Amino acid sequence: MLNEEKIVQELCAKFNFLENQIKITRPRRIFLETTEEHFAQVFDFCIMNLNFKHLCAITGFDDCDKLSVMYHLSGKDGILLNLKVSVPKDKPVLKTVMSYFLCAEIYERELVDLLGFKIEGLPVGNRYPLTDDWPKDEFPLRKDWKSSDHMKA
């Protein structure tokens, strides 16, 4: 049996609500989607029990009615686990994953600046990657964002 199938079985055995949410799109690529409430325990299980010890990147999505994030985790034998979680657009609050991966800070700051997420537990710091004088309520990677007057100056 392939390693990725073993991982999927383990995940399904632990969290039976995930059964229809896991896909192996091609060898060594696992995609799974969780709800906001289950995210913390699934994420913890992947890292602590399934040994996905490396955070490759975090991708942010604007899915029109909601905002989503995808955590790309890599484990042994080059297997990538892509864990997606969605939050409502009017209340895009997520918890930081800095307790697992310190390097997540820079990705999470990008989510805050470019897509307007609110990350709980993110330490106070400078804006990144936008400039300090960027307006507070504008998020350039959102689909409904239009460049405003200050852009033309």
Partner 1 sequence: MGLAKKIMTWARIKSPWIIHFNTGACNACDIEIIAALTPRYDLERFGVQLKGTPRHADVLVCSGPVTRQIEDRLIRIYEQMPEPKFVVAVGTCACSGGVFQGCYNIKGGINAVIPVSAFIPGCPASPKAIIDGVVKLLTSLEEKETVKKDA
Torsion of CA 101, 111, 123, 54, to 10 degrees: 0
Per-residue x/- mask for partner 1, residues 78 to 117, rule CB under 8 A?
----------------------------------------
Position 126 contacts partner 1 (CB under 8 A): no
- 91: nearest Cα among 114, 71, 119: 119
CB of 114 to partner 1, least distance (A): 9
Stretch that binds partner 1, among 56-64, 76-84, 92-100, 123-131 (CB under 8 A): 123-131
CB of 140 to partner 1, least distance (A): 4
Nearest Cα to Cα of residue 81 among 137, 19, 31: 31
Nearer to partner 1 by Cβ, of 22 and 111: the residue is: 111
Strand order in the sheet with 22-26: 22-26, 29-34, 80-88, 66-74, 54-62
What residues make contact with partner 1 under the rule CB under 8 A?
A: 129-131, 134, 140, 145, 147, 151
